[in-house]
Structure 1
């Protein structure tokens, strides 16, 4: 039985979550549908544009994404500091970038005087909006619903386009985050839709490679900020150059089936992450098959289960074997 989303989220343990949505009824997001004979490549652009649009609304950053033929992946970072720093008016303004809101919140956003008897209701609405703006369920809803409406209109039909629930899993430590990001971004290469990272269309990896060639990082993606330090900005505690090298080398092995052929520098990077080369290739090739729940070291998994009052540590064997602390 599917678990309630609230029983899978523990911000005390991690702000990082991997989410995946799949389509139903033989639907395709891109490529040639052998059943109908139609091509749906353009729908990948719909999804990518919506993902990047939502980063400007939610207090949720996108660390990685890829849009495939019949499913999509995103790795999300929930930014509680940002959402809590927004003023009440900023919360309403952010919410109304996507939704109309109520007459009351519209008046408030315009700076009009609010009747005293309506202040309590306004505060409740603002509290609701604030919680939704850092909620991955609302993020995925705002991602999937517009795509479903566009696809149904194009197909001249009604009904479900996506499966009822999206999959989400907690990424409990640095190794889990980087392994999941690499798995997500290498999807087109594993599926033989692309040969190199820079040719992997509709992925965050392509954006990062193109920006890196100009000495930048994509403005709408969670940045790499190097090694952990005091008073550091928000971002992934890893060097961008090391990550791109790691993913590029991994992609070559996956594409050419040359297991264990990583260069010495990449092996040193994996040593810092405490992941053996063979395990890294296995993780980035079969992440979705190996992990069906939270991912991290055995200690991180134990803490996560305790905070959510889970009696059993599901998938502990996989985490202990593949992500050794």
Structure 2
């Protein structure tokens, strides 16, 4: 899926570094006004999906463009880079999922010093009114915005009255008696509970990317892999059974390592290495999608390559059994 990009910077007097607004997947004009949903949307779980469904229906009912406004990076990544929560989805997968939701537009706000310094009033005037032409704004009931999180749903509603847009708050979604949230989903992925993650997402947990050349070590050991670079702060890791799309007309079974290869290098970059079962063709530069089905084990450091190879054979046998079940 091809995504187009463009940049626009609202002009504000202070600070000098203005917040940037990136537009992607634009299929409709906001000249008639927009219904705008705001949030980080990391993971695009059931709660996010409920908000987007509400957005699309409200936009249709009021003849408005449906628009999602999100942030990059996550605001907590800006304020506390060492304590910020890990990413559930790489940006490309977040945008791909949003594009598939049938929205008219998706906007990304670069969360930088300029954005962090905006008062609630400036955020509304410069972003929602001037840039997005918002006539309806839809947020979660716990939504906070503006400098030091000074704005909440009540303040946004009051600002809407003075700027000519309505505000609607969407209630939380629960699963298993608990709120569906990005925090809960992160904890689920950290624990390797892929079945629960699939329930919270309403779909398999899927990562995508372009196949790049690796060090060929897997091929030397009898386990050729598709190598996909991942963001360094991705929350998931371990050895997984997977299904791979993009290589054949149907998904192909595989076993994958998502980690930093601690046995063969120190401080390595995060990479998804996928061994496709009973498949040996070249796939460099191809774009593939990998659905993580079940975690076999956490990533481990071995004393030598022989021990690692022996464990890889055990992982492969277990993956075959799990994928047949």
Q: TM-score, normalised by structure 2?
A: 0.30
Higher strand fraction (1 or 2): 2
- Radius of gyration: which is bigger? 2
Higher helix fraction (1 or 2): 1
Q: Which has the higher contact order (CA 8 A, sep 6+)?
A: 1
